[in-house]
Amino acid sequence: MSNSQTIDIQSTDGTGTFSAYVAVPPSGKGPALVICQEIFGVNATMREVADGFTQEGFVAVVPDLFWRLEPGVELDYTPEGWQRAFGFFNSFDQDVGTQDIAATLRAARALPECQQHDKAGVVGYCLGGKMAYLAACRTDAAVSVGYYGTGIENRLDEMDNIQGRLVLHFAGNDEYCPPEAQAQIRAAAEGRANVAIYDYPGVQHAFSRPRGDHYDAAADALARARTLKALREVLR
């Protein structure tokens, strides 16, 4: 079990502060890794994911991206939870959310546990996968990894702005990111040495969610290995 705490982060636009779950590796230090939530908020699943990254030596920071709508959103995967989650998703301002990720990157690098490392990364899932892509395009994240991000095909004009490294994982049978969208993303990424896209045939959206209905152990293990390789190459 990792050592964890909750911190407050000042927004870049001065409108307030938002919370972030912070999990520290057993060594007590490491490079910062910002974890971007699914549409269900910073729930037990996201904390478990963050704790998992601490076992690989990273300081994991999970910001509450829905704080402007409702602080502390933490939903389960019941029908009611899904309904509320889509409500937050539809109301969420992704542009402002990207600014909050930038603020989180700054705050994470300033943590005492991270001060030996001048670079930080981002990993996101579902909505967070799209946010990881936007972070790659708009922030100083050294490496960003997006799992089954939705709507990336609508922001491909920003790919030229990527200064760090980007890794995207896509499910072959993802109803929220269909083959046509994935083909557009692949075409935009073609020839870019700093962008890697991986396909996982036969699996569905959220194939890496622990104990999720669509969890696929083989695809999750392969995606995790690729993710950790990219993170270690850039952040260590």
In the chain, where are the structural domains located? 3-235
User: Mapping DSSP to helix (H, G, I), strand (E, B) and coil, where does residue 202 land?
Assistant: coil
**Active-site residue, from 205, 214, 216, 220:** 205
Give the model's pLDDT for residue 236. 84
Active site residue 95: no
Q: Is 1 a residue whose pLDDT tops 50?
A: no
164 or 2: which carries more pLDDT confidence? 164
Residue range 82-108: average pLDDT? 98
Sign of torsion over alpha carbons 222, 81, 62, 64: positive
Q: Express as a percent the part of the chain with pLDDT over 90.
A: 97
Q: What is the mean pLDDT of residues 76-96?
A: 98
Contacts of 110 (CB under 8 A, 6+ apart): none
Q: Report yes or no: 95 and 54 within 8 Å, Cβ to Cβ.
A: no
Q: Is the pLDDT of residue 224 over 70?
A: yes
pLDDT at position 115 = 85
Which tens digits make up the pLDDT trace of 150-163? 999 999 999 999 99
Q: What are phi and psi of 146, to 5 degrees?
A: -115, 125
* Catalytic choice (51, 64, 100, 174): 174
pLDDT by residue (tens digit) across 101-151? 999 999 999 999 998 899 999 999 999 999 999 999 999 999 999 999 999
**CA pair distance 144, 121, nearest whole angstrom:** 6
Q: What is the predicted pLDDT for the residue at 2? A: 59
205 is catalytic: yes
Tens digit of each residue's pLDDT (9 = 90 or more) over 14-65: 999 999 999 999 999 999 999 999 999 999 999 999 999 999 999 999 999 9
Which CATH number among 3.90.1150.10, 3.50.50.60, 3.40.50.1820, 3.30.499.10 corresponds to the domain 3-235? 3.40.50.1820
